[in-house]
């Protein structure tokens, strides 16, 4: 799964951003997660953005899939998957990294105000 989180062709956040953008992202990610961007430099921007999702809610996030699986198991239903983890990860290779990065930068620029609907 970790290979699916990394950008293809050894791309990095640093090479896809200007120095100013990289510093903005580094400061923002460090503040929000406690993790320096250098550690996440090869991650697809979407996955870095996803790390921030818990900050958008005032409650614990729950997995819809996990709840459905619990219900199915309690009813002795057969549980089948619709797609594999790899198929899910591949979706994010179809979205250009620059577009993913643009969304992440927008969140950093306004400290997630638009993400929170403020």
- Look at residue 6 and give its three-state secondary structure: strand
- Quote the pLDDT of residue 58: 63
> Which candidate, 101, 91, 92, 86, places its Cα nearest to that of 40?
101
Rounded CA-CA distance 64/104 in Å is: 25
Q: How far is CA 18 from the centre of its chain?
A: 21
pLDDT of residue 37: 95
Q: Which of 42, 37, 33, 58 is nearest to 3 (CA)?
A: 42
* Residue bearing tokens 């503040």: 31
What does pLDDT average to in each consecutive run of 10 residues of the chain (118 residues)? Answer: 83 96 96 94 93 74 77 89 78 89 93 79
3-state helix, strand, coil in the chain (%, to 5): 65, 0, 35
pTM for this predicted structure: 0.73
Give the pair of three-digit tokens for residue 14.
């640093």
- pLDDT for res 87: 82
């Amino acid at each position: 799964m970790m290979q699916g989180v990394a950008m293809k062709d050894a791309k990095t956040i640093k090479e896809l951003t200007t120095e100013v953008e990289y510093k903005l992202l580094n400061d923002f990610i460090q503040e929000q997660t406690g993790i320096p961007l250098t550690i996440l430099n090869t991650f697809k921007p979407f996955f870095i953005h996803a790390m921030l999702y818990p900050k958008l809610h005032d409650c614990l996030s729950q997995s819809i899939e996990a709840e459905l699986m619990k219900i199915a198991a309690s009813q002795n239903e057969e549980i089948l998957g619709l797609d594999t983890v790899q198929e899910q990860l591949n979706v994010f290779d179809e979205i250009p990294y620059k577009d993913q990065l643009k969304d992440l930068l927008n969140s950093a620029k306004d400290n997630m105000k638009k993400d929170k609907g403020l």
